[in-house]
Structure 1
Amino acid sequence: MIESIQNFAGSIPDWLQWAGIILVSAIPFIESYLGSVIGVAIGLHPVIAILMAIIGNVISMLAFVYGAGAIRDKARKDKDTEPSQKRQRLKRMFDRFGVPGVSLLGQTLLPSQITSMAMVGFGADRNAVTFWQIISIILWGVLAGVLATLGVELALR
């Protein structure tokens, strides 16, 4: 799947590849960290690749966070359903670490779009979730982009 997404981004004309990275990074599980790696791998300048990956991930996450209100209202009506194991695990993380901890560590478990939506569903403040998710998206995107850049430079030597 990653290879086909990389081929998609690489097939876009050079002058428009930044937009492809924004689109790719908006996909859950691709996010800023894989989006920045794909951008670096197709030859974008690392700063552009990282920035576009962050922008795509943030836009997608914001849509999920601010769309979660309707889902939360519907979920409150269906209180009888048993939450999944991943949701229970995320809730335990949320109870233990709060919005900052889940935002920073949650991407190791689930995409930022899903963790942010879940936290809003748990009753967390949307603005706090948005703030900490943006911090997390930036940190993960920069970390992955820098590592990809170093890896590409090492491979070229």
Structure 2
Amino acid sequence: MLEWLQQADDIWQYLGLFILAILPWIDIFVVVPLGILWGLSPVVVSIVGFAGNFLMIVLLALFFRQLAAWRQRRRERKGITAPTKRETRARQIWERYGIPGLSIVAPILLGTDLAALLALSFGSSRMRVVVWMGVSLVIWTVILALGSVYGFGYMKWI
């Protein structure tokens, strides 16, 4: 799919990047560098990546109760009672630094989607999760775009 997407017209590439950004576990850490590597506009790639990832955060916040109930039923069926290592690490960060700290480090450690779900399950309000995850996404999108542009630009000279 990525090969077809890379060879498609710009509008289809941007749409494909948007869809990739919406998918769980594919964050701006993949989408932004990939789009810039394809030679697309870094500004548009950043906006598209941010918008797709942020849309997923908003949807998770809106449907958190249904997702939490489904997840609990699934864990019970599998016999899982203890939290995973990721959940334990996220809980430690959340208890120490709150939602701002979790949202800033989450894209590196967990992914924004999982971090948003965990923050909601820890008792954070939907609005706080959406706002702080949005702030985090803006920061990381800018860092990734700048790093990709200047990093790939530097590699062309080698």
- TM-score normalised by structure 1 residue count: 0.86
**Share of identical aligned residues, percent?**
20
Query: Matches of residues 142-157 of structure 1 in structure 2 within 5 Å?
Result: 142-157=142-157
Structure 2: gaps of 5 or more residues: none
> What amino acid does structure 1 have at the position aligned with 2:129?
V
Aligned residue number for residue 35 of structure 1 = 31
Distance 2:113 2:136 in 1: 12
Whether contact under 8 Å (2:60, 2:116) holds in the other structure is: yes
Distance 2:73 2:152 in 1: 51
What is the CA-CA distance between 1:128 and the residue it aligns to? 0.2
Structure 1: gaps of 5 or more residues: none
Aligned residue number for residue 69 of structure 1 = 65
> What amino acid does structure 2 have at the position aligned with 1:34?
V
> What amino acid does structure 2 have at the position aligned with 1:148?
S
Aligned residue number for residue 22 of structure 2 = 26
Matched, 1:114 2:114: yes
Spell out, residue by residue over 1:91-123, the C-alpha distance to the aligned partner (whole angstroms, 9 max, x if none). 111111101100001112111011101110111
Aligned residue number for residue 54 of structure 2 = 58
Are residues 28 and 77 of structure 1, via their aligned partners in 2, closer, same or farther at CA, if it must alter by over 3 Å?
Answer: closer
> What amino acid does structure 2 have at the position aligned with 1:43?
G
> What amino acid does structure 1 have at the position aligned with 2:126?
R
What is the CA-CA distance between 1:14 and the residue it aligns to? 2.2
Distance 1:70 1:134 in 2: 22
Whether contact under 8 Å (2:106, 2:112) holds in the other structure is: yes
Aligned residue among 10, 15, 18 for 2:11? 15
Aligned residue number for residue 87 of structure 1 = 87
What is the CA-CA distance between 1:7 and the residue it aligns to? 2.6
What is the CA-CA distance between 1:133 and the residue it aligns to? 0.2
Distance 2:108 2:156 in 1: 29
Distance 1:89 1:110 in 2: 9
Aligned residue number for residue 125 of structure 1 = 125
Aligned length: 153
> What amino acid does structure 2 have at the position aligned with 1:32?
I
Whether contact under 8 Å (2:27, 2:107) holds in the other structure is: no
CA RMSD in angstroms comes to 2.3
Q: Secondary structure at the match of 1:96?
A: helix
What is the CA-CA distance between 1:75 and the residue it aligns to? 6.7
- TM-score normalised by structure 2 residue count: 0.85
After alignment, is 68-77 or 31-40 more displaced? 68-77
Distance 2:82 2:155 in 1: 48
